[in-house]
Structure 1
Amino acid sequence: MSQKIPGRPVDEALMKEVSAAFNSRDADRIASYFADDAVFYLSRGPEPVGRALRGKETIRKAMADRFKVIPDMRWEHKEYIYAGDCAISIWTVKGKSADGDDLNCQGCDIYRFKDGLIVEKDTYWKMVEQKDRL
């Protein structure tokens, strides 16, 4: 489990820990990487930013609820990019929802960290559609 570590670098070791937490589908483990006042912007929702989850407990609950709907959700990480206290994780997410829908799309997360904890996570997914449109 992560803990606040002043000066902890944003590097491959940290990003692999965060990725492993998400792939564990353990909401408490995931939440341990977020600061108490963190914001997680989901890829979709009623706001221009998607849906903003504010605070560690809100993020923990949303993750627990998501894994009830997509119990085998997993991320195949392709690349991490670093810039100071920020990182980008590029991935493919896969899984099958409880009602049988397949999930298989590419996306990325833009993270901002402070003292080794996530203070902001902004998620983007490709929209998979069968219609021919731009």
Structure 2
Amino acid sequence: MTETLTKAPAVTADTLAAFSDAFNRHDADALMRFMTEDCIFDAAGGSEIHGARFTGRAAVKAAFEAVFRTFPDAHWGHGRHYVAGGRGVSEWVFTGTHAEGWRIEAEGCDLFEFRDGLIAVKRAFRKERPKQAA
């Protein structure tokens, strides 16, 4: 009997667009379906050289949910998505009102690494801007 091995579908620009759509819906469960079990998320801010790092689905999901609580109207607009082999980039403009009342509008991007048709690493980068009144 010959065993058929199925290869995971490659991540495409459309995959990254769907991932971005899940962010804009604030749907952490949907986001995690795009990511590996041992995924890594490096947030745009934090005290380490890579920002704040979250490892594993539970920690990454909690980090995403914290963003949605901190910026209840968070939105990543004007998305452009690119994939080259096992890596990808999403460019966007982040807008949101912080729970403390100030607004942000800043360009940013995510750098991705893929494995087995899923996102293994997401590194977020965002322009640093002064706080704006809401």
Which secondary structure does the structure 1 equivalent of 2:81 belong to? strand
| 1:1-134 aligned within 5 A | 6-129=7-130
SS in 1 for 2:30: helix
CA distance in 2, matches of 1:85, 1:75: 23
Distance 2:8 2:78 in 1: 25
Alpha-carbon contact 2:17-2:81 (below 8 Å) kept = no
Q: Secondary structure at the residue paired with 1:50?
A: coil
Task: Give the distance between the partners of 1:7 and 1:32, measured in 2 at CA.
Answer: 14
- Count of equivalent residues: 126
The one-letter amino acid of 1:103's match is I
Counterpart-to-counterpart distance in 1, 2:14 and 2:79: 15
Gaps of 5+ in 1: none
Distance in 2, matches of 1:22 and 1:91, equals 12
Task: Determine the C-alpha separation between the residues in 2 that align with 1:13 and 1:34.
Answer: 15
The runs of at least 4 aligned residues of structure 1 exceeding 6 Å deviation read none
TM-fit CA distance, 1:45: 0.4
Q: Which moved more, 1:101-110 or 1:63-72?
A: 63-72
Instruction: Answer whether contact 2:104 2:129 (CA < 8 A) is retained.
Output: no
So what's the TM-score if we normalise by structure 2? 0.87
Deviation for aligned residue 1:46: 1.4
* CA RMSD across the alignment: 1.6
CA positional deviation for 1:34:
1.2
Gapped regions of structure 2 (runs ≥ 5): 1-5
**What is the identity percentage for the equivalent residue pairs of Structure 1 and Structure 2?**
29
